[in-house]
Amino acid sequence: MEFTNILNSYVAVFGTLIVSLLICMFLPGIERKFIHARIQQRIGPPVSSPGLMAPIKFFFKESITPNSPMPEVYNKLPLIGLIVITLIFLILMPQFYFLGVFASILTIIGLLKIEEIIYIFMGSLSKSVMSMNMPFPDDVKGAKQYKQATKSFIEDISANRAFKLIAFGSIPIYLALFVPVVKSSSLLLSDIIIYQQINGPILFSFAGVIGAIVFFIGYMILLNEYPFAILKTKADVIEGPYMEYAANSRAFVVISRAFLMFTLATLFSVLFLGLPPNIFNWSFLVNIFIVILFPVLMGVFSAFSPVFTYKQFYPFVIGTSLLGVLAIIGAFF
Amino acid sequence: MGLKSYSRARAVHVMLVYTGGCNGCDIEIVNAVLSPRFDIEQYKIFLTWNPREADVLIVTGPVTKHNEEPLKKIYNSIPNPKAVIAAGACAVMGGVYKNIHGDIPSDEIAGPVENIIPVDAKVPGCAVRCEDVLAGAVSALPKLLEAD
Amino acid sequence: MMNKNNNSKRQIIETEISMGPVHSAALEPYRVRLFVEDELVKDAEITVGVNHRGVERIMEGLPVEKANSLTEKICGICSNVHLWNSVLVAEKGLEIDVPERAEYIRLIMAELERIHSHLLYLAHGNEVLGHETFSMRLFYIRETVMGLLSMVGGNRVQYGCSVIGGVRPRCDLDEMKIQKILEGLDSIEKRVMEFADRFISDPIIMSRITGVGVLTKQDAIKLAASGPTLRATGVELDLRREMKQYDPFEFNVITQDDGDVKSNLLIRVLEIPESIKIIKQAIKDLPKGPLTNRNWEMIDTDIIKNYVEAPRGKLYHSYALEDGRIRGSVIRTPSMSNIGAMQHACIGTHITEAQLAIVQCDPCFTCTDRAIKIQYTPLSKGEK
């Protein structure tokens, strides 16, 4: 009996993880094909291409040494990011609630912070050919010269911006995480879920609705999707911290972004609907629905908006943060 | 077809390098081919601006001297397997700039793309037609698919 | 250099960022160096010359008919206007009377090209704004114009319409072509106006483009900006008003006051209906008659100069003719005089907006790289 229970939970954990990884590969394709391409009146790529086939292709490419002061570290960073996201996902599963205080909101916040700090490392370690390294006669006679100016790579700006993302950009999502905490007066995920099983999902309350909106905007900011793409935009600083990734590392970059999409949406369904991911439960279908709904909404928003500069980004984040504070205050009542 | 070739055929990342063409080919490739009318994405071809991500390099224009080194550097930073498509008359054989200085070595044009990096497919036309770009990308595919 | 305030020279500029010649936001190869202080651009430098190929050098000594067709290869966006101007230079020097029908067809082609160039500008501007959907939709509208151009001229980019004395017979407009042009123009006008409504009513886009990359009237005049970039600052200067080819037609010169990205985008949107108006008038009064005047003789001339209004501004071509061959060809394109305006507009913007401030002046650096100047000394003076 004991043995079957343990086996069951192992199967549940690994099954959920593998099914989730498989589903998350299709999220970029769904966003690209069904939302962006439809809105832009074209056919668009097959659903499997951007998320599933592209990483597989990158695995089969030749590994190169990136242009970086620490190529080994730089190449490992996406893998670390993927592990961090996987840890967040594992904590969300009921089988890990025995960890007690480790299966709490604080752990999730800490892990998300690690994910953001990885962007800073990526940005400062990447030295791409596309800006300073381009062989071009810059310092010629007659060119503008500023003696004090240090020549910097465009990824350095990305690193700066990643820091700004930590400093204020990701505040909305953290505020939204505290709405369920205040509602259930506990930091533990298990308590939050039990509270929702008794009182109904938090989403269907005043604070829950506002919290959900704030969470969604935080989700877009954390994923760097247009219009909140301050880390990487096609129009400005290309690709930002990911510039130098090729082959395996790039595959991990693609996968970890897709899996972050999945994990954050699952986090939403745990915190606001009280449905932890588990393939042996019918509620997993609701999880998948939320997981697909979020990129779809995100695609609609990003298709109809230009990329934000700080002039739009600061007021938007401040406004959303105020909403988040309102949601937390609302959660007390 | 193994998983390797299958995945390579389903996601082709294309990078463009303009080396001093007249904008005709550049706009035909970037804008017309990606516009909803031709929509190259439906053939699983994606545009990227990062050599580390790219599989196929499309070069337009007769390579000017200033662009020679950047072109080489970008070509070298693409990880294997890679293919190069020379698009447009200038990139294929020099176009009207072919004999710009007669037999004297030219100060301006470093030659058609072939002189600088190996070319796998050539797309003729001045300017290239959108359909030909698609055909050129397809004709460079076997090299990508069969590589290790 | 050109600083907006005198103090900025004394400020310590911490970082220099450079991009190009290959960059995602730039359509063409050029180098941009931005001198940045906490993501605010304090000074900018645009380096052109990457594209320099030297068409003038090939043109030197070629028969004039042959050399004219080379001018098309200068630019892939406004190829027709280059050819037109080059042909006009020869016609001015040799005093050739062009049949009226040919004049009208050339003008129709030029205005169609202006529509396509402006739509390309708008689409590229939206791409740089980060608005992929609008950019795709504008490219879709542009495909209609490209269809019309390729129907009349036979190619999507370089049509080779004008020849000395008239136009090529394949560019003649028959009933079917006229019908299609009218239908196409109606649909373009409707769709562009629909787009403009959507564009102006979007508060986020407006906040992105209002007050960004401002160029004042004085600066624009001082930096010798030309074309729509100059008109966006409130100067009513359109060469089309002075060209005799445009005399029979009625059209408005659009001006805007602010000189920022918004004015620049709007001026191009509003110029499209004006171009459509000109084409419709030209098609309505399209005279019957021959397409080319073959009755001319080649004579030697001194340097002949001519200006036309290209989609981007004032375009200058000049050469002398000797034994039917071209000597001392000089071409100055509108983007050349707009480079100063571009650098100036960059100053004070955010890094993300710097590309936008450059793109707002509608750069065409492939045309611009004409640093060659062939000194012309007439043979009669050179020989002893």
| pLDDT value at A216 more than 90 | yes
Question: Which regions of chain A does DSSP assign to beta strands (E)?
Answer: 150-152
Phi, psi (deg, nearest 5) at residue C327: -130, 140
Using DSSP's 3-state secondary structure scheme, residue A96 falls into: helix
Nearest by CB: C45 against A40, A143, A312 = A143
- What are the residues whose beta carbons fall under 8 Å from the beta carbon of B39, sequence distance 6 or more? A37, A42, A43, A44, B33
Instruction: Give A147: exposed, middle or buried? Use CB within 10 Å, 0-12, 13-18, 19+.
Output: exposed
**Residue-level pLDDT at A168:** 82
Q: What interhelical angle do A171-184 and A247-273 show, nearest 10?
A: 30
- Which residues in chain A touch residue C207, judged by CB atoms under 8 angstroms apart? 311-312
**With contact defined as beta carbons under 8 Å apart, do C293 and C136 qualify?**
no
Q: How confident is the model at residue B83 (pLDDT cuts 50, 70, 90)?
A: very high
Q: Hey, what amino acid is at C262? A: K
Mean pLDDT across chain B, nearest whole number?
Answer: 85
Mutation pick from A41, A61, A155 vs chain B, by most beta carbons of B within 10 Å, is A61
Instruction: List the C304-310 sheet strands across, edge first.
Output: C304-310, C313-322, C325-332
CA angle (C38, C43, C47) in 5-degree steps? 125
- Which residues in chain B touch residue A54, judged by CB atoms under 8 angstroms apart? 7, 11, 13, 46
The whole-number average pLDDT for the span A202-212 is 90
| pLDDT value at C383 more than 50 | no
Per-domain residue ranges for chain C? 53-337
| pLDDT value at C2 more than 50 | no
**Beta strands C166-167 and C162-163, pairing class:** antiparallel
d(CA C161, CA C108) in angstroms, rounded, equals: 11
d(CA C193, CA C261) in angstroms, rounded, equals: 18
Class of domain C53-337: mainly alpha
Interface residue B66 vs chain A (CB under 8 A):
yes
Q: Do A235 and C33 touch (CB under 8 A)?
A: no
d(CA A29, CA A32) in angstroms, rounded, equals: 5
H or E segment to which residue C361 belongs: none
pLDDT tens-digit profile of C231-286?
Answer: 999 889 888 888 888 999 999 999 988 888 999 999 999 999 999 999 999 999 99
Beta bridge partners of C68: none
Whether the ω angle into residue A71 lies within 30 degrees of 0, i.e. cis, is: no
Tokens of C325: 């061959």
Tokens of C85: 């101007």
Q: How confident is the model at residue B30 (pLDDT cuts 50, 70, 90)?
A: confident
Share of chain C above pLDDT 90, in %: 34
Domains of chain B: 3-146 (3.40.50.12280)
Measured CA distances, A146 to A139, C10, C14, C18 (Å): 11, 10, 9, 13
The whole-number average pLDDT for the span C293-306 is 89
Mean pLDDT across chain C, nearest whole number?
Answer: 86
**Residue-level pLDDT at C88:** 92
Q: How confident is the model at residue A234 (pLDDT cuts 50, 70, 90)?
A: low
Interface residue C155 vs chain A (CB under 8 A):
no
| pLDDT value at A265 more than 90 | yes
The set of chains that have 3 or more CB pairs under 8 A with A is B, C
pLDDT tens-digit profile of A103-128?
Answer: 888 999 999 999 888 988 888 888 88
**With contact defined as beta carbons under 8 Å apart, do C171 and C105 qualify?**
yes
The whole-number average pLDDT for the span C184-188 is 94
**Residue-level pLDDT at A165:** 81
Nearest by CB: A44 against B42, B79, B81 = B42
Provide the 10 A C-beta neighbour count for residue C22. 24
Q: Of C12 and A193, which is predicted with more confidence?
A: A193
Instruction: Give C382: exposed, middle or buried? Use CB within 10 Å, 0-12, 13-18, 19+.
Output: exposed
| pLDDT value at A322 more than 70 | yes
Mutation pick from C11, C17, C37 vs chain A, by most beta carbons of A within 10 Å, is C17
d(CA C289, CA C310) in angstroms, rounded, equals: 27
- What are the residues whose beta carbons fall under 8 Å from the beta carbon of B112, sequence distance 6 or more? B62, B63, B86, B90, B91, B92, B93, B94, B98
Interface residue C133 vs chain A (CB under 8 A):
yes
Using DSSP's 3-state secondary structure scheme, residue B75 falls into: helix
**Residue-level pLDDT at C351:** 84
CA distance B100 to chain A (A): 24
| pLDDT value at C91 more than 50 | yes
Q: Do C76 and B24 touch (CB under 8 A)?
A: yes
d(CA B21, CA C367) in angstroms, rounded, equals: 10
**With contact defined as beta carbons under 8 Å apart, do A86 and A205 qualify?**
no
Q: How confident is the model at residue A238 (pLDDT cuts 50, 70, 90)?
A: low
**With contact defined as beta carbons under 8 Å apart, do C107 and C284 qualify?**
no
H or E segment to which residue C353 belongs: helix C351-359
**Residue-level pLDDT at C197:** 92
**With contact defined as beta carbons under 8 Å apart, do C43 and A145 qualify?**
no
The whole-number average pLDDT for the span C310-338 is 89
Share of chain B above pLDDT 70, in %: 99
Question: Searching chain B, which residue's CA lies closest to the CA of residue A43?
Answer: B42
CA distance A211 to chain C (A): 23
Whether the ω angle into residue B81 lies within 30 degrees of 0, i.e. cis, is: yes
**Residue-level pLDDT at C3:** 46
CA distance B76 to chain A (A): 10
**With contact defined as beta carbons under 8 Å apart, do B7 and A48 qualify?**
no
H or E segment to which residue C82 belongs: helix C79-94
Q: Of A145 and A46, which is predicted with more confidence?
A: A46
**Residue-level pLDDT at A318:** 93
**Of the candidates C324, C330, C275, the residue with the CA atom closest to the CA atom of residue C301:** C324
pLDDT tens-digit profile of C107-158?
Answer: 999 999 999 999 999 998 988 888 889 989 999 999 999 999 989 988 888 8
**With contact defined as beta carbons under 8 Å apart, do A31 and A294 qualify?**
no
Nearest by CB: A42 against B11, B39, B79 = B39
CA distance A137 to chain B (A): 9
The whole-number average pLDDT for the span A248-275 is 91
Nearest by CB: B7 against A57, A136, A239 = A57
The answer to whether the Cα torsion of B27, B33, B39, B42 is positive or negative is: negative
